[in-house]
Chains A and B, each alone.
Chain A
Amino acid sequence: MLRQSSLRAGLLLAGVILICLSAALEFRRMDSPDRILPGEGTTRTRALKDYLARLEGSRSDTLVYFLESREPGATVLVLGGTHPNEAAGFLSAVLLVEGVRLKKGRLIVVPQACHSGFTCTDPLEGYPQSYSFPSRSRLRTFRFGSRAANPVDDWPDPLIYRHYPSGQQLSGNEIRNLNRAYPGKADGTTVEQVGYAIMKLIAEERVDLAFDLHEAAPEIPIIDAIVTHQKGRDLAAGALLNLELENLQYALELSPPNFHGLSHREWGDLTPVIPFLMETSNPIQGRLRGPTDEALILEGKDRQYRRALETGRMRITYSPDGEPLARRVGRHLRALQAVLNAYGELYPDRRVEFEGIPSYEEIMKNGVGAYLQ
């Protein structure tokens, strides 16, 4: 006859297995791809593997959407999801794919540039795995990923990351950060391969202007900013002035010439493209934040940031009513259009014109979901 303690051990073991099974099911959900539903403006799709065959079958391969018009104009690249925990960058790209048509020019969109990072969350941050909101036809659920690629794809991180080819040294975990990996390397780490494929896409598709959409914690100084390479300075300045007239304040930041691996530095140095990186304020990334849940991604309301704003003891970019997803996506799309308009004024035969793109006020009023399929 079984001793009582052995029976208890067996029952406890069964409980442990049940807990592990439920954790496994939740964990595996991160490998289910997000559903992006291309609208009628999307004319064709490719994948990053078409620019670097080595990516085929890997977690880093991701779809590239083309929105093409019959009228000639510039070719524009928009990257979302360079950092998969920056939801507004990703959703701005998704909105372009699902709801916009091109009247002039060509738009190439990569909504999940660091696809590997969409398969995990950052450790010790308590981030939710996904977030949901209603769109025009259904409830849409998207994964909330990690800042960098999945550590399983390049395990373990070195103590020090040496950027290729500059030799610049950064902390080891930055080896999985796509926005420190450009210009990349065909046989390099996961993100070096992605960086290389994106550089190749820019060259092969003859991209004229490229946008990398980001978010950052409210205490980071480059919030609500357009960061650009020196060759994009005049365009960004023109865009900023027009945005100011619409009561949308932005800062103009120039890409540091000696900080390597960043999109706005390497794209601009090594290709003819004029690069721009945009940031919005995202409280879920902040160190001061309180409860870290789905509502914080969508509504961007946090009591601790509100307190910080009221006491005035910290320099933060945070509105008293929070930083909702609609505002963050609206700012990205409005700034994107402002730069393209400034480009169109300089080069009228290279104009890019959209149809169906919502205004900042419309997104604020109706929410992001109203413009997704």
Chain B
Amino acid sequence: MLHWIYIAMVCWITALVLQELFQEKSWRNQIALSLVLIPLLLRIFHIK
């Protein structure tokens, strides 16, 4: 159960980061946000 609460939290943070990625205008910030997305997606899909 604890595991799925953790995954739900990661999904929520991922949604926020995705929203920011599409709203952001600076390309530097967009690259930074996409880098943040990598570990979040890896956790959601149980990779690494």
Binding site for B on A (CB under 8 A): 5-6, 8-9, 12-13, 15-17, 19-20, 23-24, 27, 152, 155-156
Contacts and interface: CB of A to CB of B under 8 A. Distances in A.
A16 B34 contact: yes
B21 A13 contact: yes
A27 B47 contact: yes
Contact of B25 (A5, A15, A155): A5
The 10 closest A-B pairs by CB, nearest first: A12-B34, A9-B22, A24-B47, A9-B21, A27-B47, A20-B41, A5-B25, A16-B37, A16-B34, A23-B47
30 contacts: A5-B24, A5-B30, A6-B22, A8-B27, A9-B22, A9-B24, A9-B30, A9-B34, A12-B30, A12-B31, A12-B33, A13-B18, A13-B34, A13-B37, A15-B34, A16-B34, A16-B37, A16-B38, A17-B41, A20-B38, A20-B42, A20-B45, A20-B47, A23-B42, A23-B47, A24-B47, A27-B47, A152-B46, A155-B3, A156-B2
Nearest to A24: B47
A19 B31 CA distance: 14
Contacts of B42: 20, 23
Nearest to A152: B46
The residue in A17, A23, A156 that gathers the most chain B C-beta atoms within 10 A of its C-beta is A23
Given A12-B34, A13-B34, 17 more contacts: A5-B27, A8-B27, A9-B22, A9-B30, A12-B30, A12-B31, A12-B33, A13-B21, A13-B37, A19-B38, A20-B41, A20-B45, A20-B47, A23-B47, A24-B47, A152-B46, A156-B2
A13 B35 CA distance: 10
A17 B45 CA distance: 11
A272 to B, nearest CB: 42
Interface of B: 2-3, 18, 21-22, 24-25, 27, 30-31, 33-34, 37-38, 41-42, 45-48
Contacts of B48: 23, 27
A125 to B, nearest CB: 13
B2 A8 contact: no
B24 to A, nearest CB: 7
A6 B46 CA distance: 28
A8 B28 CA distance: 11
Given A9-B24, A12-B21, A24 B45 contact: yes
A5 B31 CA distance: 11
A16 B31 contact: no
Nearest to A20: B41
A261 B25 CA distance: 58
B36 to A, nearest CB: 9
Nearest to B41: A20
A23 B18 CA distance: 20
A1 to B, nearest CB: 15
B27 to A, nearest CB: 6
A8 B23 CA distance: 11
A151 to B, nearest CB: 11
The residue in A13, A16, A27, A152 that gathers the most chain B C-beta atoms within 10 A of its C-beta is A16
Contacts of B27: 5, 8
B39 to A, nearest CB: 10
A168 to B, nearest CB: 26
A15 B18 CA distance: 14
A15 B21 CA distance: 13
Contacts of B34: 9, 12-13, 15-16
Contacts of B41: 16-17, 20
Contacts of A6: 22
